[in-house]
Structure 1
């Protein structure tokens, strides 16, 4: 693990509450999906490799989630399926159609429903909602470089890591600190 990853791992270890926002892994083009339906797009081989690599990296950082809320789209569910063997039986998983066809407010509503006492929540969803949520939840003490990265949009299988002292259910726009943005290649 490189020095930047070690530093991020230490910050995560000190955090009271952690939110991991993730965009699904690489999927087939919509024209290859059954009946051309976007929600049915499946992962390609690269996407399966990305999911596994990200899960391994998150585990090394101490970011195995207590709870996961995942979009109901095939590519998001398949991404999570590729991660769960690394995470083990610990995470409670919920699938939500609203994370596929909703927007930032739907994602915020899902975060607000997080049971008190949950330390690490992972939300696995889609662009542009994932990068928008990372930007909107980030407060003034967020890492400027990370803010620049999410401002450009999050590539497939990229994660944004946010922390705060407040319970996840109490997070509002600007209440968290964006401390890391990691792509699959960062997790080697």
Structure 2
């Protein structure tokens, strides 16, 4: 039996406030723990990433590492320089290039893009609809969408928001 096709949109975990440049800001200790907890939660939801698109910024690469460790994922992510400062359409263009064999895609990026993307994709019918508007899209947040068709056909307001979670370590 084939798994449901999923798109998981993640905002990077909590980063240190300063570094030599914005792109070089690493995760804080809390960010590493929160990212790990998010990975545990994603695994408990049955998310098994086949493809990951991750911004090349230090904090997003470190978020990937923490999430993947928590989830038990071993795939090699695609680090993408365009995810650092693209808009929602730029992320959609990347997602649309995903091989059709992939069942679950994880995108780790930055606000405001990922939060706006989550709101843009939501068809308004899912179990978690409204969660992003109510809770915002804080660090270590993940929106899990069910994709009804081909990756090449992903469009605004066409995906069901099945789950929303903010990873927070105790």
Same fold by TM-score, threshold 0.5 exceeded? yes
Flag the structure with higher helix content: 1
1:4-153 equivalences under 5 Å are: 16-29=4-17, 32-34=18-20, 37-88=21-72, 90-143=74-127, 146-151=128-133, 152-153=135-136
Structure 1 portions without partners, runs of 5+: 1-12
Task: List per-residue Cα deviations over 1:149-175 (Å, max 9, x = no partner).
Answer: 312531100100100220222211111
Would the aligned equivalents of 1:66 and 1:90 in 2 still touch at CA under 8 Å? no
| Higher CA-based Rg | 1
> 1:164 maps to which residue?
147
Task: List per-residue Cα deviations over 1:16-70 (Å, max 9, x = no partner).
Answer: 31011000000011xx211xx2111110000010111111111122112111000
Structure 2 portions without partners, runs of 5+: none
Would the aligned equivalents of 1:127 and 1:153 in 2 still touch at CA under 8 Å? no
RMSD: 2.1
- After the TM superposition, which parts of structure 1 deviate over 2 Å for at least 4 consecutive aligned residues? 13-16, 83-92, 146-149
TM-score w.r.t. the length of structure 2 is 0.90
Task: List per-residue Cα deviations over 1:50-91 (Å, max 9, x = no partner).
Answer: 111111111122112111000111100011122333445642
